[in-house]
Amino acid sequence: VNMKECLEILKTGKALEEKTVRILCEKVKEILIEENNVQPVSGPVTVVGDIHGQFYDLLEIFRIGGDVGDTSYIFLGDMVDRGYHSIETITYLICLKVLYPGKITLLRGNHESRFISQQYGFYDEVMKKYGNINCWKYFNDVFDHLPLSALIEGKILCLHGGLSPDLKTIDQIRLIDRFQEIPSTGEGFSDLMWSDPEDIDTWAISPRGLGWLFGSKVTDEFNKINGLDLICRAHQLAMEGYKIWFPNQNLTTVWSAPNYTYRCGNAASILQINSDLSQKYVMFDEAKQKAKLSHYSKVVPYFL
């Protein structure tokens, strides 16, 4: 499979053939299986929040942030669901991961799971574009391999959701068995995907029904124990494109889906982190090209 050719096909708004997707997913799993639950990353690196299938906005991110190869990236999960182009988005990122394995880190979000992606659009999109669910299964096998977090220069922890009362140290995250569907409870795995910061001291029940709300005191303690300067997460719509939390400003939300679900009217950002760990939020608007693929049957042969 020629990765660069695949990227060009995807840029035209076409999905790849099923057999190509299968080969891509096998290739990327071989890379991901070697990565850690807490994948070490060197600066400079650009951190990207939720994209949710907004493929043309993903292309916009690479336009303003630089191409993979020149720029290193960490994606904080929730690459699929809600938007119209989850297939193109995740396939594009997998191609880049195979082409530049050391330059792009893909983390798992709560939508990178069978249970959630069956309800919020990805499953239906695969069914619509391919006429069967084989590719949905291939992609979910890849999701089971994605790292849970990334650690930039030992000082900035990147993850999708937030903290867990079951996880006091980064070493405990390293011990989780991640090669499975996201469990609803147990050992903190699900909390990393689902938790949110809140203006409280310690812990509170999350209105999401999964994960926790966690406060400034919890964040201060976790960062102190683990020698961290900052926790960088996504998972929560930030109308300004990002939101810096708590008196010590030691947690940030990065949101990278502009005009989320094509109607929220929010801004979006990516976070550039330099080698000295200084940070710069780069704002961007939704891409002008919003082509919706209407004739799926013309794009993908029905029998593959």
Nearest to 193 by CA among 205, 201, 184, 202: 184
85 is catalytic: no
Instruction: Report the C-alpha gap between 214 and 246 in whole angstroms.
Output: 11
| Residue 51: φ, ψ to 5° | -115, -35
Q: Which residue among 52, 111, 160, 235 is the active-site one? A: 111
Active site residues: 111
